[in-house]
Structure 1
Amino acid sequence: MNTPTAPFAGRAVHRVGYGALQLERLHDRRDEAVALLRRAVELGVDHVDTAQFYGFGFANDVIREALRPEDGVLVVTKVGADPDPGGPLPLKPAQRPEQLRASVEDNLRSLGVDQLPVVNLRRLDSGPGLRPEGDQVVDLDHQLAVLTALRDEGKVGAIGLSSVTLDVLRRALPAGIACVQNAYSLVARDDEDLLQLCRAEGIAWVPFFPLGGAFAGLPRATDEPAVQAVGADLGVTAAQVGLAWLLHHAPNVLLIPGTADPAHLEANVAAAAITLDDAAMAALDAVESRSAEVPIGAARGEGGS
């Protein structure tokens, strides 16, 4: 079902992957979580986005159990935050170089691998949730130095960035960047310049919140009359139209929608096969882009649809 591909970290992957954040919803139904990932593989999903802090390690544990080497799934993880179960948010910044190294080691252990194919540096420059304070305000060069050292050591295959600005990406380019994850959707296209720079540099653009705001008061693509009309014309859901628009918008877009529901998973993957003609794209391109800025402290994660 999942047939279109695009380059990512030196290989071709299907353009719709899976974001593991939502696995936390199955914390008390582990067998269902494992079965969901197995179903994703059956549907052609070959890249999965995770982090040790998703579900305080639960997502990585499920991935380790569910995925097999012969599945050929590219597991992408991220560093830059640590779990904080007792804090006002479930996360706390972990931006210092020694914390980034420790997070890589934690992900290696929990996933049971010798190398993490792609590690995203979750900066705190933009996007939802945390902002750095005190000793968590760390220069990009120091962070890239430890990640490139880990790459040289063979513990990291490729380096990505998450929640960054255009300036940060430009500064990071000499280090070799495989992907960028920022909040981006049909209704929140503030980072269009970032997307286009990634396209020019051959960097995968992996948007989180791909259908818009996951929080009250933020725009959602599925609420747009134009999106609903295109869906009705094609006999698909508004959510599928929002995902399909992203895939049509730029060839370097890869999606990682998350879900805990098998039917929703199938619908997300099926979005890769939707064809939007010129008239549909024109109608969707005309939808107003609005700010997707999430109040600090409001966000728990990303990747979901």
Structure 2
Amino acid sequence: MTSSMFRIGGELSVRRLGFGAMHLPPAPQQAREAAIAVARRAVELGVTLIDTAHLYGWGANEELLAEALHPYPDDLLIATKVGVAPPNPPHDAAICGRPDFLRDQVEQGLRRLRVDRLELLQLHRIDPTVPLADQLGALRDLQTEGKIGHIGLSEVTVAQLERARQIIDVASVQNRYSMLDREHEAVLDACAEAGIAFLPWRPVHPAVSQATAEIAAVAAELGATAAQVSLAWLLDRSPVVLPIPGTGSIGHLEENIAAASLKLSDDQWRRLDRIQPR
């Protein structure tokens, strides 16, 4: 039986079905109160991995989670990301991996999340204009200082992952991946081989918006939704997969979390696996 738990970096034990906080709006007040209720309900339902980023509201999402959940339960891991600069007219938002910039965003994340240490800090994107050793070296220095526990990457190739592992211990990779979007299949396989947590973002959307007849058939057989089938397939894909579906709705949240108890038969999983990604 596939374990429902995973130890990120060999240390951070979390339930494999997490929650992506990107869709929680910080304003206006009524929407903020509803978002806080969703975050709290996620923890009530047993979620122990929540994903956020400086990019999400330029820190507002981190502040929202702190308001909702601080002081945090001992078993809750809030992972955040740095490496994108806010828009500065006339300039748009842009990837930025300068060491001083990354350090500043980490310091901001510590303040906004009200913690002394970010247990999992992921580089949101690799900056092609800054040497990789400089970007990861800055995060490694912060790790040495005790401000970061484990370091992860986001939207990387197999080659980038290999290079990064020569510089740091990579605890996680967060790439776009789902049953109908397998562009990063090789990255997932590399993570599985190395025991690195793989956090697929947008794990549900394609299977719901573009549900195939096979997905619909399996959902009908199980009395489940297409989203639940998609998440169940991901959980069975590899023990290193930690899906982080996001929603601003308590109903959708409860639906997603229920997917952790959905059991696909071997035949159902194979039928879903044979679907050609779009």
Do Structure 1 and Structure 2 share a fold, with TM-score over 0.5? Answer: yes
Q: CA deviation at 1:185?
A: 0.8
**Equivalent residue, structure 1, for 2:77:** 74
**Equivalent residue, structure 2, for 1:39:** 41
2:230 maps to 1:242: yes
**Equivalent residue, structure 1, for 2:14:** 13
Instruction: For 1:235, give the aligned amino acid.
Output: G
Asked if structure 2 preserves the Cα contact closer than 8 Å seen for 1:221 and 1:239, the reply is: no
Cα deviation code 1:238-287 (max 9, x no counterpart): 01111111101111000111100001001111111111101101110110
**Equivalent residue, structure 1, for 2:66:** 64
**Equivalent residue, structure 1, for 2:160:** 168
Higher relative contact order (CA 8 A, sep 6+): 1
2:175 maps to 1:182: yes
Identical amino acids, percent of aligned pairs: 42
Q: Kindly report the root-mean-square deviation, in angstroms, between the aligned alpha carbons of the 2 structures.
A: 2.0
**Equivalent residue, structure 2, for 1:271:** 259
Instruction: For 2:80, give the aligned amino acid.
Output: T
Cα deviation code 1:155-191 (max 9, x no counterpart): 0000000011110101111310110001111111122
| Alignment map for 1:135-150 (pairs within 5 Å) | 137-150=129-142
Q: CA deviation at 1:20?
A: 0.9
Q: Which stretches in structure 1 are left out of the alignment for 5+ residues?
A: 125-131, 214-218, 291-305
Pick from 150, 156, 163: which aligns with 1:158? 150
Quick one: structure 1 residues 168 and 43, their matched pair in 2 at CA, closer, same or farther if it must change by over 3 Å?
A: same
Stretches of 4+ aligned residues off by more than 6 angstroms: none
| Alignment map for 1:1-305 (pairs within 5 Å) | 4-9=4-9, 10-24=11-25, 27-28=28-29, 29-67=31-69, 68-84=71-87, 91-124=93-126, 137-174=129-166, 175-211=168-204, 222-290=210-278
What SS does the aligned partner of 2:57 have? helix
Q: Which stretches in structure 2 are left out of the alignment for 5+ residues?
A: none
Quick one: structure 1 residues 224 and 275, their matched pair in 2 at CA, closer, same or farther if it must change by over 3 Å?
A: same
What SS does the aligned partner of 1:161 have? strand
| CA distance in 2 between partners of 1:196 and 1:235 (Å) | 31
Q: How many residue pairs are counted as aligned between the two chains? A: 272
| CA distance in 1 between partners of 2:233 and 2:209 (Å) | 10
| CA distance in 1 between partners of 2:20 and 2:90 (Å) | 24
Instruction: For 2:86, give the aligned amino acid.
Output: P
| CA distance in 2 between partners of 1:181 and 1:70 (Å) | 24
| CA distance in 2 between partners of 1:173 and 1:157 (Å) | 16
